[in-house]
Structures are given as structure tokens and as C-alpha cells.
Structure 1
Amino acid sequence: MWELAEHRSLFVEHQPEHAGHALHTVFVDDFDACVAAIAERGLEPAKRETYGNGVRKAIYVDPEGNEIGFGGAPA
């Protein structure tokens, strides 16, 4: 993990079984509003996670297996 600037980090994970697919996570200021806006467009997350520190994440997957996740601070 590299901290690029304050509150801006890059994390690289080696996953050979996932080669050729993208995996991104974007942390947003208002997690609930972001997930609601995406739902209004007819998309629901494939998976939701809540970590021990309360950070939440919604993961969306396209038909090719690419993932984009949106994370946010605890509610």
C-alpha cells in the first residue's frame, strides 16, 4: 500500500487467478447516497461488506468479472 497524498492511497494485490480483470474501490463522502443513486439506475451490489472498524463497502460486478466497489465511513 502506498499513500499518494493525504487520504489517497493505492493498494496493489497480486491475484493471478484474476488476471485480465479489473478490481477498483473508490471511497466516497456519502456512501448511502452513492449506493442509493446507483440503485436508482437499476443496479444492486453483488456483495456488501462491513469491516470491523465499521467501514462499509458495496461491490458491483459486470458480466466479464470486473469489479468496482464503493466504500464509506461508518454510518
Structure 2
Amino acid sequence: MALDLFAGIPVTEYAAALKWYERLLGSPPAFFPNDTEAVWELAEHRYVFIEQRPERAGHALHTIFVDDLDAIVAQITERGLDPAERETYSNGVRKTTYRDPDGNEIGFGGAPL
């Protein structure tokens, strides 16, 4: 069975969110479905998108697991964003969380060191 994933993030101000997510994800969007939506392809058939929906903004919770968490966090820091939170779970899995201007949480997780 073929599977595509689109994880949505509602935002209040599209233009400001677009700039913030470009810094977080390190690239411009892969495509724009319309004037108030932008889509990034994180991996084949795996997408995250922002959409101007002020009435729902601030409630997204997404975690993206990566091979090299330290490298991703360093790259995001170089682009001017600092994590809101860092956690290490009892099994050693680590998670670094960022919050956009609306309060949406985007976490990056990685295996134990």
C-alpha cells in the first residue's frame, strides 16, 4: 500500500510563519498549494505544511526523528533559532523542541548517544 503523510501546522500569520519554518527546516517549501499554505517534503512521501488558520493556531505537536540529532540542532542554531526545550527519556532517546511564534511545537528526536 502506498502511503503519503501530510502533517499540518495551523498558523496565525502566514508570511511570518513561512520565514520561521524556512529557518527551522533549512530550505524554502517544496510547493505552494495556494496563497496561504506552504509544503516541505522532509523525505519521500513525508510532508509537513503550514496553513493560515488563526482559529486553530498554536495547537500542533509534531516530532521528527533524525539520524543525527546533534547535527540538525547545530544547523538550526546556525540559522538563528534556539530550542525551547531539551529532553532525554529514560531509554536514552533525546528530543529537542522548538516553538513557532504561535506556540506550535516541532520536536526533533534522536536515538541515544
TM norm structure 2: 0.48
Identity fraction in percent = 74
Q: Quote the offset at 1:48 in angstroms.
A: 0.4
Q: How does 1:1-75 map to 2 (within 5 A)?
A: 20=56, 21-75=59-113
1:62: Cα distance to partner? 1.0
Higher RCO (CA-CA < 8 Å; seq separation 6+): 1
Where do 5+ consecutive residues of structure 1 fail to align?
Answer: 5-18
Whole-angstrom distance in 1 between the partners of 2:78 and 2:98: 14
Amino acid corresponding to residue 78 of structure 2 in structure 1: E
TM-score (norm 1): 0.72
Q: Residues of 2 paired with 1:64 and 1:43: CA distance?
A: 15
Separation in 2 of the partners of 1:36 and 1:51?
Answer: 21
Write out the 4+ residue segments of structure 1 that deviate beyond 6 Å after TM superposition: none
The structure number with the bigger radius of gyration is: 2
